[in-house]
Amino acid sequence: MTKKNSDDKPARFSRRKLLQAGAATIGAAAFPMPGIAQPKPFAGVTLRGASFQHRFFTLLQNYIPEFEAQTGMKVDLQLSAFPVYNQQANLELSSGGSAFDFVNVTFILAARWVAAGLLANLDEFTGDPNLTPAEWKPKDFVEGAQVPYRDAKGATYGYSWEGGAMVMGLSRMDLMEKKGLKIPKTFAELQQVCAEINGTDGVTGLVSFQLHHWCLPPYIQGFGGNIFRNPPTDIMPALNSPEAIQAVEFYSNLLKNYAPKGVLTYTEDQARQALLTGRSNIFIHSSAWITPILLSNESKVKDTSRVVRMPAGPVRDFPAANSQGLGIPKNAKNKKAAWEFIKWALSPEISMRLVKEHGHSSVCRRSVIESEEYRKLNTVGGQDLGALYLEVLGLPAKGENYMAYRTVKEFPIVGDVLNKAFEQVATGQLAAQAAMNAAQEQAVANMRRAGTAL
Amino acid sequence: MSGGTGGPIRRPASVRRLVAIGVTLIVLLSPFLWLLQMSFKSNDLILQFPPPLIFTPTLQNYAALWQGAFPASFVNSLMSASFSTALALILGVPAAYALLRWAGRGKHALSFAILVTRMAPPIAFTIPFFLFYRWIGLLDTVTGLVLVYTSFNLPLVIWMMQPFFETVPSSLEEAALVDGASTRIVFLEIVLPMVTPGIAATAILCFLYAWNDFFFALILTRANARTAPVAVVNFMNYEGWEWGKIAAGGSLVMAPVLIFSLAVRRYLVSGLTAGAVKG
Amino acid sequence: MSGKGLVDAERRRFNRRALAPSLIVLFLIAGLPAIYLVVTSLTPFQLVNPGSSTDFSSPLRNYRLLPDDPRFVNSLWVQAKLSFWGVLFQVLLGMLLALLLHTQSRVVEFARTFFLIPMVLPPIVVAIIWKLIYTPDISPLYYAASLLNIAMPSLTSSVDFALTAIIIADTWEWLPFTFLMVLAALQTIPDEFSEAALVDGANRLQIFFYITLPFITPILVISGMFRLIDSVKAFPLVFLLTGGGPGSVTEVTNYYAYLLAFDFNEIGYSSAVTIVMLLLVVAVSLGVVWMGRRREAMA
C-alpha cells in the first residue's frame, strides 16, 4: 500500500503548493463533514516516511487510513529491504537531506545519528502540552529500549516501536528430555547441550545468523570483556583482550560444530525457519524472532518449545537488548505532522491494538506489556513471555549500562571489523588470537581515519 | 565479421557434433532455466527437498508482483532507458559522423578519452553524481537517471556509429557536396538513411545497457524512481526470502532484454568492445 | 580550388556543430565528475563532517594511507585473482565453444543465438540465478551432492570456495563474449591453408595448433583484455552472493570502494581508492588501443 509520487520536475516547490491547494479542495469536497465542523489540522500535507520492511509497519498500514481521515494528511510510507533501507537512510541523513519527514532509526545507526546531530530533538514535542497530551506518557517506554535514542545530556531523539530482548529459544525439548538434558544456564552447559543434541534426528544443536556484531558481544561480556575499553567515555577498542579472544573461540566453535551448513550467511529469517521447523534446537536472538515457536501458526514445535533467559557467562550475565525507533530528521519539512504520526503510531491505544488484534507483542510500552490482556495472550504453557521480555529489556538500566557500547557513534566501524574478523575465525582462516589482534589494529586505524582521536 | 566460408575443418555438422552442441547448450543454459522454472513454483514447492522437477505451474508469483511497487519500477526502467537512448542518439549520431570525418589533430586522444568513460567502473561517477543530485534535487528522479545513463550511452553511440558511417562511400557525399548541397543536407538526407540499421542496433544496445544498470539505480534512487533491477533485490527483505517472487521478478526484468538483444545479436560484440576492434 | 575550399570550410563548421554538443555534454556529465573525483580524493571528506569537503590541508593523506590499509591491499589481490582466473576460463572455454560450433548447419546457426543468453541478461539477474544455485536449502546442486554422499559446504560462505563460486558465475556470464569473437575470427580464416595442410597429411590437432591458433591468437588476446577491463566492474555478483565475505575473501576493490563511500561515508578515501582503480583501467585500455592499432598497421 505504498503510494507513488512521480513528481520529478525541478519546479516542484510551486507544484507542491499547487498540489496542496488542490488536495485541500478535493479533500474538502470528498470527505463530507460528519456534522462536526472541525477543520482537519493537517489537510493537504503529504507526510513522507521510510523504514525497512517489518511486520510492525505492515500491520500499521491497516490503521493508517484512520489516521489519514483524522488528520487530513496523506502518509507516504516507503518500505525497503533492511540493508537497502539502512544505507539509503544513512546516506540521506548524513547529507542533511529532507526527503523524509519521519524515519526508522535502526539500532545499528542510532548512536551515529544521535551523536552527529542528524535527528530532531523530540523533547520539544513531548514537553509541549499542546502537542502531546499527558496521557501519552513518554516515560511509559521501557528504559532499555530508549537508551540508544538519548544523547549524552539525556535528550530524546527517538521513540522505540520494537524492543529486541535477547532470549534463548529451545525447540526440541522432547529430544532434550530423552537425553536427560536440562536447560543450559551457563556457557559451558550451552556447549554441552549443543554437542549432545547435534546430529540427533537430523537436528543441529544451534542456529544463528550473520549479524555477528549483535550475537557475539554477550559472549564477550559474559567472559568479562567488552567491545570498547570503557564506553561511552573510553572508546579505545578492546577487541584483542583475552576475554574477547576467548569469546570468539567459544562462539565460533559453536557455529563450526553445531550449526547448519552455511550458517554464516544465514539471515534472521532463515534461522527462524530452522527453529520453527525444529531443524535446530537452540536459537539466541531478540524475542520477536524466538517467541513464534510458541505463538505462531507456522510453528511445528509448539508443544516442545521453551523460551528462557540466555545462558550466563562465567563473569557476567549480560543478554543484549536493542530497539528500533521512529525519529524525525533534522531537516525534515513537516516536523509537526511527523510528530503527529509518531505520536499516533506509538500511542498506548495503537500499541494495544497491535497486541490484541494481531498478536504483535514486541511493543515498548510498559503499561501495555504489563496489562492483563498482554499477559493472557503471551503466556503459553506457563511461560510468561511478557515478563521475560520486560526483564531483559530493562536490564541495562538496572545497574551498569552494559549496552553502552552501542551508543558509541563509532560502533558501526568497529562492528564491521568485528564481523569480518569473526567470519575469518569461524571459517578457519585465522586463529582467534591472530584475527582479533588484526581486528584491533584495523578498528583503531579505521577510527583514526574517520577522524576519531584515540 | 561475416567473412569467408571457411576456416580449418569446417565440414557439415556430424550427428555427433550436433548432439554435443545440444547437450552443451542445455548444460550451459540450465542455471537460467532453473530460475525460470522456479518462478512458476509456489514457495512450499521451492523449499521442498528434493526439488520436484515435475509440478503444476502457478502464476501466483507473477500475480503477487503486480500488486507491489514492481509495475512502477518497470515504468521507471522503461522511461529512463528510453529517454537516455533518445538523448544519446540525438547527440551522438551527428557527433560520430563528425568525428569520423574530422581531419584535425587530437582525434585519437578524443577517441581514447571517450573509450575510458565507457570502461570506468560506475563508482567513479556515482559519488560526484550523488552529491550533485543531492544539492540540485535530482536524487530519486527519472531525469537524474536519464542523465547518468546518457553518460555511458553517449560514448557508446559515438563508438558504434563510426563503423556504420564508414560504410557510406564518401564519393556519394562528395558528389552531393560539389553539387552545392550543405553538409547538413548531405548528412540528413543521404548518409543517415543509409545507416538506419546501425542506428536501430545502437539504439537497442543503449536501451539494454540502461535497462540492465543496477549500481547507479541503487545509489541514486530511493523509492520513487526505483528501477526494476533494484526492485527485484528489494524482495530480499527483512522478513523472508520470497524465492518465488524473486525468481518471477528476475524473469520479468530479463524478458525485455532477452527479446531485444536476440534481435541485435550481430552487433552485440562490437557494442561490447566499443568498436575498438574492427572487422 | 576555391570551390573545394568553401566546401571544406562549410564541412568543418558542420563538424564542429555536430561534435560540440556531445563534447559539452560529455564534459559536463563525465569530465566534471572525474575532476571532482580527483579533487575529493585529496580531502578527508566525510559526509558527517561538513567542513571536510574542502579541507586540503593534507592532500596526499588518503594516498599515503592506502598501502597501509590491509583491506585495500587485500582487495587488489582478490581483484587480481578474480580477473586472472575469470579471464583465463572465459577465453579458454569460449574458444572451445567456438570450435565446437564452427560448423555448417542452419540448425547450429539458429542455436548459436541461445548461447548468448548469459551475456545479455541483466547482471543482477545473473547474480540472482547463482544465488539460487548456491543457497543450500533450495539448490539442485546440493541435492545432487547429498545424493552422491558428498558433503558440500555452502560455497559462498566457505573461505576456500567463495571466490571460486564467483569466478564460476562470472565465467558463465561472459563466456558468450569470447565465444562470439573467436567464432567470428574462425570464420575469417581462409580455406586454402587448412586444405593444403590436409593434403599434406596433417591431422586435426596439428591443423589446430599450427593454423587455427596463430590466426585466432590476436582475437584471444584482445577479447581477454576487454574482459580484463570489464572484470573490474564486478559488483552485482559480489553484492548479492557474498557481500565481500566470508571475511574479505571476495572483497574486490570496486566493492570496497562502494562500502567506503556508501556505508561508511568516507567519501574522500573512497575517491582515492577509485582513482587507483581507474588508473589501472586506463593502463589496460591503453594496452588494448595500442594492440588494436598494431593490428590495423599489420593488416
The reply to whether C32 touches chain B by the CB within 8 Å rule is: yes
Write down the pLDDT at residue C130.
Answer: 92
Q: What does the block give as the cell for B10?
A: 569446417
With CB atoms and an 8 Å threshold, state whether A427 touches C262: no
Region B237-241 average pLDDT: 53
Q: Are A317 and A337 within one domain?
A: no
B78 & B168 share domain: yes
pLDDT at B4: 39
Residues of chain A with pLDDT below 50 are 1-14, 18-19, 21-22, 24, 27-35
What's B57's DSSP letter? -
Q: Give the DSSP letter of residue A186.
A: B
**Residues whose CB falls within 8 Å of the CB of residue A4, separated by 6 or more in sequence, listed in order:** B69, B72, B223, B224
B230: closest chain C residue by CA: C124
Q: Which residues of C touch A93 (CB under 8 A)?
A: none
Domain-located, residue B82: yes
Q: Which residue among C16, C116, C138 sits closest to B268, beta carbon to beta carbon?
A: C116
Question: Is the bond leading into A83 cis (omega within 30 degrees of zero)?
Answer: no
For residue B2, being part of any structural domain is answered with no
Among C residues 176-215, those touching chain B with beta carbons less than 8 Å apart: 177, 180-181, 184, 186-191, 193-194, 197, 204, 207-208, 211-212
Contact B234 A84 (CB under 8 A): yes
pLDDT computed for residue B5 by the predictor:
40
More confident residue, B177 or C87: C87
Mean pLDDT for chain C?
Answer: 84
Distances (CA, A) of A129 to A64, A123, A326: 24, 11, 20
DSSP 3-state of A329: strand
Q: What is the distance between the alpha carbons of residues C272 and C249, in angstroms, rounded to a whole number?
A: 22
Q: Is position B161 within any domain?
A: yes
CA dist C250 and C185 (Å) reads: 34
In CATH terms, is domain C70-298 a member of 1.10.3720.10?
A: yes
Chain A: nearest CA to C49, how far in angstroms? 9
The band of B246, judged by pLDDT with boundaries at 50, 70 and 90, is confident
- Judge whether A355 lies within some domain: yes
Return d(Cα B208, Cα B85) in angstroms, integer.
Answer: 9
Average pLDDT over residues B9-18: 75
Q: How far apart are CA B250 and CA B236, in angstroms?
A: 12
Query: Do A286 and A253 belong to one domain?
Result: yes
Q: Cell numbers for C299, please give them.
A: 593488416
Do both A45 and A89 map to the same domain?
yes
* Whole-model pTM over 0.80: yes
Question: What is the band of C29 on the pLDDT scale with cuts at 50, 70, 90?
Answer: confident
By the 8 A CB rule, do B228 and B76 touch? Answer: yes
> Taking CA atoms, what residue in A is nearest to B234?
A81
- Does residue B150 lie within any of the structural domains? yes
Question: What are the grid coordinates assigned to A152, written together?
Answer: 549524552
B6, part of any domain: no
Burial pattern B143-178, b for ≥16 Cβ within 10 A else e, equals: bbbbbbbbbbbbbbbbbbbbbbbeebeeeebeebbe
Between vectors from CA B218 to CA B216 and to CA B221, what angle results, nearest 5°? 90
Task: Identify whether residues B141 and B49 lie together within a single domain.
Answer: no
B74 domain-assigned: yes
Please state which of the ranges A134-138, B205-209, B235-239, C259-263 shows the lowest mean pLDDT: B235-239
Count of domains forming chain A: 2
CB-count exposure of residue A216 (10 Å: 0-12, 13-18, 19+): buried
Dump pLDDT digits (tens) for C205-232: 877 887 788 888 888 888 888 888 888 8
Tell me how crowded residue A119 is: count the other CB atoms within 10 A of its CB. 23
Q: Same structural domain for residues A355 and A252?
A: no
Given an 8 Å threshold on Cβ–Cβ distance, is C194 in contact with B148? no
d(CA A291, CA A296): 8
The cell numbers describing C118, all together, are 548469459
The whole-angstrom separation of Cα B121 and Cα B123 is 6
Chain A positions touching chain C (beta carbons under 8 Å): 87, 90-91, 94-96, 112, 116, 118, 261-265, 270, 412-413, 416, 420-421, 423-424, 426-429, 438, 442, 445, 449-451
Contacts of residue C69, Cβ cutoff 8 Å, sequence gap at least 6 = A445
pLDDT at A98: 83
Lowest mean pLDDT among A4-8, C59-63, C199-203: A4-8
Output the domain CATH number for residue B228: 1.10.3720.10
The verdict on a CB contact (< 8 Å) between A99 and B140 is: yes
Contact call for B258 and C180, based on CB within 8 A: no
Considering the domain architecture, whether residues A117 and A236 belong to the same structural domain is answered as no
Q: Which residues pair with A78 in a beta bridge?
A: A50
Q: What is the predicted pLDDT for the residue at C290?
A: 79
Residue B138: its chain A contacts at CB < 8 A?
Answer: 8, 10
Residue at A385 is within a domain: no
Is residue A66 located within the same domain as residue A105? Answer: yes
d(CA C223, CA B277): 9
Co-location of A369 and A257 in the same domain: no
Same domain? B188 vs B261? yes
Cα B251 from chain centroid (whole Å): 16
Give the per-residue pLDDT at A29.
46
Look at residue C59 and give its three-state secondary structure: coil
**Total domains, chain B:** 2
**Conformation bin of residue C201: beta by default, left when phi > 0, alpha when psi is -120 to 50:** left
CATH code, A365: 3.40.190.10
Residue B191 sits at the chain C interface (C-beta within 8 Å):
no
For an interface test with B, the pick among A12, A13, A80, A211 (most B C-beta atoms closer than 10 Å) comes out as A80
Q: How many CB atoms lie within 10 A of CB B47?
A: 16
CB contacts of B273 in chain C (<8 Å) are 181, 222-223, 226
Query: Shortest CA distance to C233 belongs to which of B121, B127, B217?
Result: B121
Q: What separation, in Å, do the N-terminal and C-terminal C-alpha atoms of chain A show? A: 47
On whether any CB of chain B is under 8 Å from the CB of C107, the answer is yes
Q: Are B104 and C16 in contact (CB under 8 A)?
A: no
Is residue B9 in a domain?
A: no
Query: A192-244 pLDDT, tens per residue?
Result: 999 999 998 889 999 999 889 999 999 999 999 999 999 878 899 999 999 99
Task: Looking at the structure, tell me whether residues B132 and B51 fall in a common domain.
Answer: no
pLDDT at C3 (0 to 100): 58
Q: Nearest chain B Cα to C276, which residue? A: B124
Task: Report the residue of chain C nearest B120, measured CA to CA.
Answer: C278
CB A279 within 8 A of CB A260: yes
A153 shares a domain with A235: no
Taking the Cβ of residue B231 and every Cβ of chain A, the question of whether any pair is shorter than 8 Å is answered with no
Question: Are residues B169 and B46 part of one domain?
Answer: no
Question: Is A381 inside any structural domain?
Answer: no
Phi/psi of residue C17, nearest 5 degrees: -70, -30
CA nearest to C141, candidates C114, C171, C168: C168
Each residue of B88-140: pLDDT tens digit? 999 999 988 888 877 666 677 777 777 777 778 888 888 889 888 888 888 88
Domain span at residue B225 reads 63-272
Rg, chain A, Cα only: 23
User: Domain range spanning residue A329?
Assistant: 12-163+323-375
Q: Would you state the pLDDT for residue B103?
A: 61
- Residue B49 confidence (pLDDT): 67
Please list the residues that pair with A49 across neighbouring strands: A77, A102
